[in-house]
Amino acid sequence: MLIAESKSMLFEAPLPLQSGASIHGYSLSYETYGTLNADKSNAVLICHALNASHHVAGVYADQPHNTGWWDNMIGPGKSLDTDQFFVIGVNNLGSCFGSTGPHANPDTGRVYGADFPVVTVEDWVNAQARLLDALGIEQLAAVMGGSLGGMQALSWTLQYPERVKHAVVVASAPNLNAENIAFNEVARRAIVTDPDFHDGHFYEHGVVPKRGLRIARMIGHITYLSDDVMNEKFGRELREAVTHNATGYKYSTQEVEFQIESYLRYQGDKFSEYFDANTYLLITRALDYFDPARAFGGDLSKALARATCKFLLVSFSTDWRFSPARSREMVKALLDNRRDVSYAEIDAPHGHDAFLLDDARYLNVVRSYFDNMAHALNEGGAA
């Protein structure tokens, strides 16, 4: 098993943010796997989604069960082979897994709460670029991410076209649609209207808006799963059938009755124990705001004209959060610009979550793509 080590890098210079604000003296947590080659041409940056971190692959020496969130994809001999590539995981600014965020600045101890500035996908990419500068990496062999991570990968190709040779954009979208924003908004309202939220300064009150976080996570989970997989996994199964009445129902409005309820409550409870409420607001807002076509009157083809790298896009048939149609919009816009695009639409039952799961076709598509890159790298050719 790959042994991971969490590192941290402090950035003293102010980072100008899209909102007009700026942040300075922040640190980013990151991990690296594999070895950077002599000409520094084999680096792959992994961008994370809402509930993930820089701990992408492997386990920590002292935490043998704390496995990276994309460990099934990344590691020695895996689809993204760390024997071939130097892989970098980074925790985004504003997150709650080590980097500076609303909960704390690990270097100054400052607790921002609601005063943490709004950060965007573009801001994250700028922060990631500074990390690469510090690591001495001029150009990425590839940038890769799923969901919100895919948005960052796409944004890399627009903000730093010369620094990216390949982008792997999985289960993503060129922006949120109204329904996506709507779900985010309900989750945010649940958090913000929780009396324990205290306008984002709950840390000072020694409380956590757990009620709101639970509701937010339950909503999220519904949108991550497909209807099909929910029916298959849970259906209308009761948690505990009462056998002394004909229907098996308890007839209660509050007790857990169906398995799906039990599952959602568990997911909500678990999440509320570790996730930061302000981070939830920030990250969902970053999702809402991402819209590279906005500055081009909604014309995605024009927006993506800046991208010059090669692309692999992957979508999943039952993903209703970021449906295949959204990936096809990106594919079309790239093809309009005569870009080199590979696209795989994977027939998978698991909905949006599929991008994190073991699906042989999916993992093989990514493997082939990186194998070709590795081959070209080893040959010294242009991948």
What are the binding residues for substrate? 217, 353
Residues 151-180 touching its own copies, rule: CB under 8 A, are 175-179
Minimum distance from CB of 182 to its own copies (Å)? 5
* Among 29, 319, 350, 359, the one annotated catalytic: 319
Decide: 122 and 18 in contact? Cβ < 8 Å: yes
Residues in a beta bridge with 29? 8
Our finding on whether 233 is near its own copies (CB under 8 A) is yes
Residues in a beta bridge with 103? none
Minimum distance from CB of 48 to its own copies (Å)? 19
Minimum distance from CB of 382 to its own copies (Å)? 35
Name which position in 9, 59, 104, 222 contacts its own copies (CB under 8 A): 222
Our finding on whether 185 is near its own copies (CB under 8 A) is yes
* Among 27, 147, 272, 327, the one annotated catalytic: 147
Decide: 313 and 169 in contact? Cβ < 8 Å: yes
Phi, psi of 36, rounded to the nearest 5 degrees: -70, 125
Our finding on whether 15 is near its own copies (CB under 8 A) is no
Give the DSSP per-residue string, 334-382.
Answer: HHHTT--EEEEEE--TTGGGGGGS--HHHHHHHHHHHHHHHHHHHHT--
Residues 111-150 vs its own copies: string with x where CB under 8 A? ---x---x-x------------------------------
Give the DSSP per-residue string, 18-85.
Answer: TTS-EE-SEEEEEEEES---TTS--EEEEE--TT--S--SSEETTBTT---TTTTTEETTSSEETTT-
Our finding on whether 18 is near its own copies (CB under 8 A) is yes
Minimum distance from CB of 102 to its own copies (Å)? 10
Residues in a beta bridge with 310? 166
Shorter beta-carbon distance to its own copies: residue 149 or 292 = 292
Separation in Å, CA 250 to CA 21, 240, 243, 256, 257: 54, 9, 10, 9, 7
The yes-or-no answer on residue 147 being catalytic is yes
Minimum distance from CB of 173 to its own copies (Å)? 12
Our finding on whether 329 is near its own copies (CB under 8 A) is no
Decide: 84 and 44 in contact? Cβ < 8 Å: no
The yes-or-no answer on residue 352 being catalytic is yes
Residues 280-319 vs its own copies: string with x where CB under 8 A? -xx--x--xx-x--xx------------------------
Our finding on whether 206 is near its own copies (CB under 8 A) is no
309 Cβ contact list (under 8 Å, min separation 6): 157, 161, 164, 165, 166, 167, 339
Give the DSSP per-residue string, 282-302.
Answer: HHHHHHHH--TTGGGTT-HHH
Shorter beta-carbon distance to its own copies: residue 222 or 376 = 222
Decide: 100 and 107 in contact? Cβ < 8 Å: yes
Residues 20-49 vs its own copies: string with x where CB under 8 A? xx----------------------------
Our finding on whether 338 is near its own copies (CB under 8 A) is no
Tokens 């819209």: give the residue: 291
The residues carrying an active-site annotation are 147, 319, 352
Give the footprint of its own copies on this chain (CB under 8 A): 18-21, 114, 118, 120, 175-179, 181-183, 185-186, 188-190, 192-195, 211, 214-215, 218-219, 221-222, 225, 227, 230-231, 233-236, 245-249, 251-254, 257-258, 260-261, 264-265, 268, 278, 281-282, 285, 288-289, 291, 294-295
